[in-house]
Structure 1
Amino acid sequence: MKSLKSALLYTGLAILANAAATTAHADAALEALKDGDMRKLVIASEATAAPDVTFTAQDGSQATLADYVGTPVLLNFWATWCAPCRKEMPHLSELQDAMGDQIKVLTVATGRNPPEAIDRFFAEIEVENLPKALDPKQEMARAFGVLGLPVTIILNAEGQEIARLQGDADWSSDSAKAILTAVAAGD
């Protein structure tokens, strides 16, 4: 009985060590891809489940991030009054075009952002391919600990946060595409 407990203990420890090594390898692989603006990307030491909160989808329905499980998500919190958001949004649009179905760029206007202002914002920067999701009471932003805008969070296909970037960035850069391609591949 004692040897069975020891064997189970060592097997469990080996499994945990292997998982930790795999996570460390994935973290190192993503770190190696960081260049330019992506140097601001903070890779999480452990993937953590995304908060289970609702937001308003473009069609007015209530949605959650669980609706996107199976596809990596680049979750961007922004606002119509945010100058860095205006600079960043076309890069997010280019990224979505370049990545196709490999990832989903989900833009969520947090706080007071009237639909007319959102439509005007997108028209002025000539972005047509990104969703106009809403977080009017900032419940989703608070659940993610968003303190300033823009904030972009990378969720893996399992719906876990694996990285985040505070501030605007060139998401259409080769570095961003390489990072998200690795995430989409499950690396």
Structure 2
Amino acid sequence: MSRSRIFNGLFFVAVLMLIFSPSAKALVIEGLMKVGLFQPNISKNVSTVSTANSLPDVIFESPDGKQIHLADQKGKVVFLNFWATWCPPCIAEMPSINKLYGKLKDNGNVVFIIVDADHNFSKSLPFMAKHRYNMPLYKLASNVPPNLVSNSIPATTIIDKNGQIVFHQEGSADYGNPKVLEYLNKISK
């Protein structure tokens, strides 16, 4: 067998893996993040909420049944991420979100709400444990306004202490970027 046939066969197998394996896709996206692609434009202000300074009363529920109300988080910065275990871009950005969470988990002015968009803790909890992610995991327990999440995931929204959306990203992003940490520390003071 010639080298070109072997190379073509390996290339074909690699393409099939990228098409059919969420983990392989996620690995490629994560690698692209590490070389500088998929950087969030954190400096862009997207204040799209009404000028009324109140958060919608969206309710999230943790695996142990505890509920957190978004409306009760006014005065804190909220990092809200919607994801699913089958979504390669979601899987790719999880290490960077976990890294960011690790640096901010002791900041009482920042709340992380990582939402399993499938409402399926039987899949998301083992996924989090397997990867040693210690972020707080929730599912929706009420309706959510479209300005917080769209029909695509991953979707990340940052809400400032006044209840205003200051960042919204659809699709994967590298939240391990030092600019994101700097920005969250700045708006949480």
Q: TM-score, normalised by structure 1?
A: 0.68
Q: Give the letter aligned to residue 41 of structure 2.
A: R
1:39 to partner: Cα distance:
2.4
**Matched residues, percent identical?**
27
- SS class of match (1:168): coil
Q: Give the Cα–Cα distance (whole angstroms) in 2 for the partners of residues 141 and 47 of structure 1.
A: 10
In the other structure, the counterpart of 1:88 is 93
Q: Give the letter aligned to residue 114 of structure 1.
A: N
Distance 1:98 1:156, change over 3 A: same
Q: TM-score, normalised by structure 2?
A: 0.67
1:103-114 equivalences in 2 (<5 Å): 103-110=110-117, 112-114=118-120
Distance 1:51 1:87, change over 3 A: same
Q: Give the letter aligned to residue 105 of structure 1.
A: F
Distance 1:146 1:41, change over 3 A: farther
In the other structure, the counterpart of 2:174 is 170
- SS class of match (2:45): strand
Q: Give the letter aligned to residue 128 of structure 2.
A: F
1:60 to partner: Cα distance:
1.1
RMSD between superposed Cα atoms in Å: 2.5
Q: Answer with 141-150 or 116-125: which moved more.
A: 141-150
- SS class of match (1:108): strand
Whether contact under 8 Å (1:150, 1:167) holds in the other structure is yes
Whether contact under 8 Å (1:95, 1:171) holds in the other structure is yes
1:52 to partner: Cα distance:
2.0
Q: Give the Cα–Cα distance (whole angstroms) in 2 for the partners of residues 114 and 36 of structure 1.
A: 27
1:143 to partner: Cα distance:
6.1
In the other structure, the counterpart of 2:39 is 37
In the other structure, the counterpart of 2:159 is 155
Q: Where in structure 1 are there 5+ consecutive unaligned residues?
A: 1-34
Whether contact under 8 Å (1:92, 1:105) holds in the other structure is no
Give yes or no for the alignment of 1:66 onto 2:54. no
Q: Give the Cα–Cα distance (whole angstroms) in 1 for the partners of residues 139 and 147 of structure 2.
A: 14
Q: Give the letter aligned to residue 134 of structure 1.
A: K
Q: Give the Cα–Cα distance (whole angstroms) in 1 for the partners of residues 110 and 180 of structure 2.
A: 12
Structure (1/2) with the larger helix percentage: 1
Q: Answer with 101-110 or 40-49: which moved more.
A: 40-49
Q: Give the Cα–Cα distance (whole angstroms) in 1 for the partners of residues 166 and 186 of structure 2.
A: 12
Distance 1:46 1:83, change over 3 A: closer
- Residue-pair matches, total: 148
Q: Give the Cα–Cα distance (whole angstroms) in 1 for the partners of residues 163 and 47 of structure 2.
A: 16
In the other structure, the counterpart of 2:34 is none
Q: Deviations along 1:88-146, whole A, 9 cap, x unmatched? A: 11211111111231422210112x34211011110232202x11100277x22646341
In the other structure, the counterpart of 1:118 is 124
Q: Give the letter aligned to residue 81 of structure 2.
A: N
